[in-house]
Amino acid sequence: MRIAVIGAGIAGLSAARELASLGADAVVFEAEKRVGGRALTYNRDGFTADMGIQTYTPRGMRLEDAIRLAGDEAVPIPGDIFLHVEGRAVPGSPQRNQEMRFTFQSGNHRLAEILAQGVDIRLGVPIEKIRKTKGAFRVGEEEVDAVILTPPMPETQRLLSTAGDKRNLAGAAYRPCISIALAYRAVLKPRPYYALLAEDRMEPVLWVGIENLKCAGRAPDGWTLLVAQTGPSYSRSHMATADDDLVRTVSRTVRRIFAGELDKPEWSHVVRWERSQPERVVLFDNANQQGGRLIVAGDGTLAGRAEN
- The CATH code of the domain that includes 226 is 3.50.50.60
Within a domain: 186 = yes
> How high does pLDDT run on average in the chain?
95
In a domain, 112, yes or no: yes
Residue 226, pLDDT > 90, answer yes
Domain that holds residue 63: 2-301
Q: Answer yes or no: is pLDDT of 106 > 60.
A: yes
Assess if residue 308 is contained within a domain: no
Kindly state whether residue 120 falls inside one of the protein's structural domains. yes
pLDDT single digits (tens) 154-205 = 999 999 999 999 999 999 999 999 999 999 999 999 999 999 999 988 889 9
Give me the number of domains the chain comprises.
1
Q: Give the predicted TM-score (pTM) of the model.
A: 0.94
- Look at the alpha carbons of 187, 189, 193, 195 in this order and tell me if their dihedral is positive or negative: negative
Residues 6+ apart with CB under 8 A from 250: 180, 182, 204, 205, 228, 230
Reported as a single tens digit per residue, the pLDDT across 254-302 is: 999 998 899 999 999 999 999 999 999 999 999 999 999 999 999 999 8
